[in-house]
Structures are given as structure tokens and as C-alpha cells.
A and B are shown apart, each in its own frame.
Chain A
Amino acid sequence: MITFTKYKILLGVSIMKKTKIMSIMLTLAIGVSIFTGCGSTSSGSSSSANQKVTITLLNSKSEIETQLEDEAKAFTKVNPNITIQVMPVGSGTTFQKLSSMYAAGNAPTIQMNDPGDVAKFKDKYIDLSSQKWVNDADDGALDVTKIGGKMIGFPVCTEGYGLIYNKAVLDKAVGGSFDPTTIQTRSDLEGLFKKIQATGVDALDISPLDWSLGNHFLPISYSDQSNKFNDVATFIKNLQVGSVNLASNVPFNGLMDTFDMMKNYNHEKKDPMAGTYDNAAQYVSKGTVGTWFMGDWAWPDLQKAGATGQFGFLPLPISNNASDYGNTQIPVGVTKFMSIDGSQNSKAQQAAAEKFLSWMVYSKTGQDYMVNKESMIPPFKNITIAPQNPLAKSIQDYVKAGKTLEFMTVLPSDHYAVLGADMQKYLAGKENRATLVTDIQNYWKTVK
């Protein structure tokens, strides 16, 4: 009996020993696994020429996300050592996303920014002035990105905006083939709206989006001040100092008078704030409305909504005098720049990124993607493929005729949020012109 108990005790002790060893090993395993997540999150690999390199691209043009991913795969087919991970910005602004990625230590290799944000990262972006495509870029396209002695931006697309029109609807309204050059004054535009309404279709859809009203519509009043780039820049500086009296400013009031007229023909008149971007794209595609204030980036959305037939742009006249500046021009400019980060990406990754940018400009596949699949107007003189999308064609017509305004791309980061909200109030009738003027003037005084 004693032997049996001793045996049980011995067995118990050995089992205890085993479980003790087991539990120590398990604790160690779990403890180590906690730290696996702490590894470096930078997406780099080695620097040898034949080694695989992975780079990341932050895409802030959500309408081309899928096409850009396909383009990245196409690039890897011809350059098997380079993999590109395309990521969208998601919610929030590009600047917010990039600030948090830099803080987290995993800044993307290629970053697509709005022109106004490029300067903020000037210490982190590498100089691209020795790249081949610099000489092939459109004149003036790179001016905004020449900062601190470096040239840090690759122009992605030229864009423009105005009143998108559905030609089928307008042909029916004018009883023939509609010619956009016939719209040269506000009364021409109003006459056209009346004719569209007479066919039983609403003339126009104004989307109550703060970025559309604040950063696209309102700045037309800035670029209408003068056809000289420097004069417009001086106007903005004067706004910041507070020496501009918008209440007596002719182009501003002209634009707002046109806006007042547009409000009467707005499809969303009963509840101006309820309109959405997607609904408006559907309306203009299907011919439920004749025109939509938006830009050529909306073409993929119009296609998705089933657009058939011809589309084009109308200008927003600000007076009844046909020869006034701004009556027959639409804003056109480079709206996105890609830059390469040099502070958190290895030299191999930077080289791979430069290769990709060059490939986009010089290879047939890259050009095809840029012009045809992503429906962008390339800001490069060497790309001669004609765009398929009618909105881009319309913009190129305006550019060829020299009928363009400055697309105000460098505005303060919260311009769209603050003044967009005020424009929404003006659209919904919640504030009058005098209050709007005060709000705009006060906002600019707070901009450093």
C-alpha cells in the first residue's frame, strides 16, 4: 500500500512536472506571439537590383481605384520584380490619411495629392526634375510643384468643370443640333433652361456637396477676376488681408446672380440639400435633367449610370456682355500630383516608383490606361491618343480654342468645408448675399 501511494505520488509529481513544463512553454509561446505584431511595418525589401521590390501607392482619385489596380498588375507583368500595392484613401482627406501614415512609419512610396497639399510634404518628397517626362509635361503644369528648389510632383490628370450637358436632351430642346458656343451670356443660358423645361424635363441639377460648391463653384469668382495668373494670386492675397469688398466686386456678384438664376431651374428645388452625387449622375445620364454642375472626373460615374450619346460642357456666364472674361471659358487645370516619398522608403523603392511613373507616360499600355481606361486627360504633350470620353473631348476643345479659366487648385485645406457650408446655406436660402459676403471675407482673414 505504501509502495502504491508512493507510486501515485511519484506519478503525480512527474505529471505535475510535465504540466509545469507544458505551461511554461505555452506561456513563452503566447508571450512571444504578442511581439510578432511589433515588427517593422515599412513595406520595403532589399536593395539589390534583381530582388523583388514592393511599393505602395496611395490613390486619392476614388473613381479610378479599380483601373489603377489593374494598371499596377499590368506594370508587374512587364516588370516582374516590382509589385505595386494600390490603396484608396477611404474616409477623411488625403492629408489626414498621410499624416497618420507618416506618424505610423509606413508612408506610401507614391502619394497622390491635391496640388494644395504637395507643399506641405516638401521635406519628404524627392526631387523629380531630372526625370525624362519633365520636358514632355504641358506648359505651366508643373509650376505649382516647383517648391524649395526641387520639382516634386508628377502631374496625373488635367481636369475641368462646368455645366455638363446631355446633348440628346438639349437637341430636343433647341429643335436641332445643339452648339455649345451659342451660350455666351446669362440670358443665353436662361433661355436654354427655359427651352429645356418646355420639353418637360428639368433644366439642371445642382449637387449640394460642400466640395463642389465651395472648391469649384465659388472659386470661379476668383479666377474670373483677371485672365492673368498673377492678378488672381494678388486677389487672393488681398482677401487674406481683408482689403477686398466682395459686395461691390463685379465678377463675384455676376457669378452669384447666375447662381440665383440657376436655383430657379434646379431639379432639387423643393429640397436643395437632399440631392446626392450618385442621383445627379443618374439623372443627367438618363436625361431626367438637362445639365449638371460637375467636372469631367464624373465620366466613370455617368458610364456606370448607363450614359449613352454625346455629352459636353457649357460655361457659366457671369454677365450679359458676350465678350466679358469668364462668359465663354471653363476652368481647366492639373488637379492631382503624384510624389515619391524619400523619408520612409528605401532607394530601391524610390527607383521602382520612378520607373512606374515613366512607364505611365511612355509605354503604350500606360498611355492606354491613362487616357482610355481611367478617362483622364493626360497633361503630357507626347501622349497623342485621343480621349474616348466625350467630357474629356469637350475640355480639349475648350483648351484648343484657348477658352480656359484658372482651375483654383491651391486653396486652403478647409476652404471647401467652411465656405462650402456657407454656399450650401445660400443654396438652401438660409442666408442672403450680404451674409455670404461677410462669411467669405471673414474666413479669408483667418487664413495664414
Chain B
Amino acid sequence: MNNEKSFISKLKSYLIFAGPATFAFLVVMIVPCIYGLYLTFTNWDGISATHAFVGFANYVTAFKDKDFITSFVFTVKYAFFAVILTNVIAFLLAYVVTSGIKGQNFFRAGFFTPNLIGGVLLGLIWQFLFNDLIVYIGTNFKIPILSQSWLSDPTKAFWALVIIAVWQGIGYQMIIYVAGFMNVPKDVLEAASIDGASGFQKMKSVILPLMIPSFTVTGFLTIKGAFMAYDTNLALTAGGPYNSTEMISMHIYNKAFLSQQYGTGQAEAFVLFAIVSILTFTQVYISKKLEVEA
């Protein structure tokens, strides 16, 4: 009877504090998700009043769609470079900014500011930079690689996307790494110095293992962000030139709303969801396994 009472009272206090938020989360995210999953097995076109059950037909179409595979491979390439570059640069910046140089708080704020600019605005600013400003500089100073707009060539447009993803992301990840650096216990570092470890050895054997929780978080955020990228993709290239930089989110959105094949689009969205979930769960699982105590 004691147990029963405390469960009900626990439930009561949960509902009072977290009830509204849980309700909102269920209604806005979980219920539409389940309804969407149900819709992938129907042939609804978005506006008619009726729809019929079609089984796995939408998933078959989704896998046969070769543009889906192309966009997916493109997004994987983009994610690979964006994740690695963002994390390496953020880590280095965090190291510099915690090493006690003058004005480091100013630098911390400064490096974080790009993250505050929203995706669409960011894309438009960089579009102007790539199309007009850099081309102007390239033609005036006779630098051939900058004389043509990077956005009109598929390969260069890919790198343009990576550049702005890194530029926007390093601030946020840097903050997480700074917190990680601050949490490395000073006595362990001192002990290592006393034992004669060099800076590089300290980094390799003491700091990195103790910062693995930070890597868990940053790895998860950057991988998810790279796979779900849509707003910067739309604003910078809109999938151009000629659909060569169409990432998977944009492909799914266009399939559903532009080509009006909602069933296929939603099925592709679930496939993406499954893939990204597996990827991030694996990453978090491995990171957690590697974590060590101080």
C-alpha cells in the first residue's frame, strides 16, 4: 500500500509539473508522426477527402526512386565533411579560447555569433557573397578560381554548402567543447605534468578521454543537423545548379509538395528518419561505451 500511494503521488507531481509540456509534445509531435506513418500506407494526395489503403506500394516507389538515392549519397558526403570539419575546428578554437589568452570572452562571443543568424538569412547573405562579391574580387584581382560564381558549378556549390555549414556550426560546438575543457579536473592535469607528460601527450591521454561526453553531444548534434539540413540548402542553392545540390530533406519536401506525391514523400521521410535514428543511436552508444571516469 505504501508503494501504490507513492506511485500515484509521483504521477500526480509529474502531471502537475510536466503535464502541459508532455501534452503539447504528444499532440504536436507524436500524434502527427504516428498519423504520418499510417498515411504512408495509403494513397492520400493532400487535399481530397478520401483515401484508400495501399500497403507497401509507397515504400517500393521510394526505393525505386533513383533521385532519392542520389540525394541521400550527396547528403552523406556533405555530412561527412561538415561534421568532421565543424568538430575539428570547434575543438581547436575551444582549446585556444580556454588557454588563457587576453580577451578570450570576447572571442567566445564572437565565434558564437554566426550561429545566431537564421538559416534562410544566412543562405541569402552567402549567396550574395558567392555570386557577386567574391566574383567581383576574383575578376578584379585576376584570381581564376574566384572569378566564376561558386554556385553555378556543382562541385564548387557542394563546397559552398559545406563552408557555410561549418561557419555556422563551429560557434555552437565550440561552446560545448569549452564546457568540456573546463570540466577536466585540474589535479589530473597537474599530476600528468608532474609525471613529465608533454602537452601533446596530455591532450591525447588525459584531455581527450575525459572529454568524450562532449563528443557524444557534439557528434549527435552535428550529424543530425547535417542530415536534416534544409533551410540553408534552400536559401543558398535551392538544389541548383540543375538539382545537383539537392539534399535529402529538400528532395523529400519536393516529392511531397511539388510533385504532389505525398505517399512516396512521406515514405521517404520515414526511411530517412529510420536511417538517422540508427546512425545517431549507434554514435551515442559507442561514445557512451568509451567514456571514462577521472
Query: In the complex the two chains form, what is the Cα distance from A130 to B151 in whole Å?
Result: 52
Most chain A CB atoms below 10 A, which of B131, B148, B152: B152
Evaluate whether A273 and B152 lie within 8 angstroms (CB atoms) in the complex, with A99-B47, A413-B259, A414-B259 already known.
Answer: yes
Q: Which of B20, B242, B258 is the one whose CB lies under 8 Å from A424?
A: B242
List of B residues within 8 angstroms of A95 by Cβ: 257, 260
**Distance in Å: Cβ of B133 to nearest Cβ of chain A:** 13
Query: In the complex the two chains form, what is the Cα distance from A135 to B258 in whole Å?
Result: 35
Q: Which chain B residue lies CB-closest to A27? A: B16
Q: Which of B131, B152, B257 is the one whose CB lies under 8 Å from A92?
A: B257
Cβ B49 vs Cβ A123 within 8 A: yes
- Residues of A391-448 at the interface with B, using a CB-CB cut-off of 8 Å, are 413-414, 417, 421-422, 424-425, 428, 430
Q: Which of A270, A271, A413, A421 is the one whose CB lies under 8 Å from B242?
A: A421
**Distance in Å: Cβ of B92 to nearest Cβ of chain A:** 35
Whether B254 sits at the interface, judged by CB under 8 Å, is: yes
**Distance in Å: Cβ of A442 to nearest Cβ of chain B:** 11
Cβ A120 vs Cβ B242 within 8 A: no
**Distance in Å: Cβ of B249 to nearest Cβ of chain A:** 14
Cβ B240 vs Cβ A99 within 8 A: no
Query: In the complex the two chains form, what is the Cα distance from A102 to B48 in whole Å?
Result: 11
- Residues of A27-80 at the interface with B, using a CB-CB cut-off of 8 Å, are 31, 34
Evaluate whether A93 and B257 lie within 8 angstroms (CB atoms) in the complex, with A123-B49, A271-B148, A271-B152 already known.
Answer: yes
**Distance in Å: Cβ of A446 to nearest Cβ of chain B:** 9
**Distance in Å: Cβ of B231 to nearest Cβ of chain A:** 10
Query: In the complex the two chains form, what is the Cα distance from A123 to B50 in whole Å?
Result: 12
Q: Which of A123, A124, A273, A413 is the one whose CB lies under 8 Å from B241?
A: A273
Cβ B257 vs Cβ A99 within 8 A: yes
Cβ B148 vs Cβ A274 within 8 A: yes
Query: In the complex the two chains form, what is the Cα distance from A428 to B241 in whole Å?
Result: 10
Evaluate whether A424 and B149 lie within 8 angstroms (CB atoms) in the complex, with A102-B47, A274-B131, A413-B259 already known.
Answer: no
Q: How many residues of A contact B (CB 8 A)?
A: 31
Q: Which of A34, A91, A270, A273 is the one whose CB lies under 8 Å from B234?
A: A91
Whether B22 sits at the interface, judged by CB under 8 Å, is: no
Cβ A274 vs Cβ B257 within 8 A: no
Cβ A430 vs Cβ B260 within 8 A: no
Cβ B242 vs Cβ A425 within 8 A: yes
Q: Which of B135, B148, B257 is the one whose CB lies under 8 Å from A96?
A: B257
List of A residues within 8 angstroms of B48 by Cβ: 123
Whether A121 sits at the interface, judged by CB under 8 Å, is: yes
Query: In the complex the two chains form, what is the Cα distance from A407 to B152 in whole Å?
Result: 30
0/1 per residue, A90-112, Cβ < 8 Å to B?
01110110010011000000000
Whether B118 sits at the interface, judged by CB under 8 Å, is: no
Query: In the complex the two chains form, what is the Cα distance from A102 to B46 in whole Å?
Result: 9
List of A residues within 8 angstroms of B242 by Cβ: 421-422, 424-425, 428, 430
Evaluate whether A274 and B234 lie within 8 angstroms (CB atoms) in the complex, with A120-B47, A413-B259, A424-B242 already known.
Answer: no
**Distance in Å: Cβ of A38 to nearest Cβ of chain B:** 10
Cβ A417 vs Cβ B149 within 8 A: no
Whether B183 sits at the interface, judged by CB under 8 Å, is: no
Whether B243 sits at the interface, judged by CB under 8 Å, is: yes
Q: Which chain A residue lies CB-closest to B152? A: A273
Cβ B258 vs Cβ A121 within 8 A: no
- Residues of A104-145 at the interface with B, using a CB-CB cut-off of 8 Å, are 120-121, 123-124
Q: Which chain A residue lies CB-closest to B243? A: A421
Most chain A CB atoms below 10 A, which of B240, B242, B257, B258: B242
List of B residues within 8 angstroms of A103 by Cβ: 46
List of B residues within 8 angstroms of A92 by Cβ: 257
List of A residues within 8 angstroms of B49 by Cβ: 123
Cβ B254 vs Cβ A417 within 8 A: yes
**Distance in Å: Cβ of A19 to nearest Cβ of chain B:** 17
0/1 per residue, B231-242, Cβ < 8 Å to A?
000100000111
Query: In the complex the two chains form, what is the Cα distance from A425 to B257 in whole Å?
Result: 24
Cβ A99 vs Cβ B241 within 8 A: no
Cβ B47 vs Cβ A413 within 8 A: no
- Residues of A251-273 at the interface with B, using a CB-CB cut-off of 8 Å, are 270-273
Which 3 A-B pairs rank lowest in CB-CB distance, beginning with the nearest?
A: A273-B152, A421-B242, A96-B257
Name A's B-contacting residues (CB within 8 A).
Answer: 31, 34, 91-93, 95-96, 99, 102-103, 120-121, 123-124, 208, 210, 270-274, 276, 413-414, 417, 421-422, 424-425, 428, 430
20 interchain pairs, CB-CB under 8 A: A91-B234, A93-B258, A95-B260, A96-B258, A99-B47, A120-B47, A123-B48, A123-B49, A208-B241, A270-B148, A273-B151, A274-B131, A274-B149, A276-B131, A413-B260, A414-B259, A417-B258, A424-B241, A424-B242, A428-B241
Extra A-B contacts (12), CB below 8 Å, given A96-B258, A413-B259, A421-B242: A92-B257, A99-B47, A123-B48, A208-B241, A270-B148, A271-B149, A273-B241, A417-B259, A421-B240, A421-B243, A424-B240, A424-B242
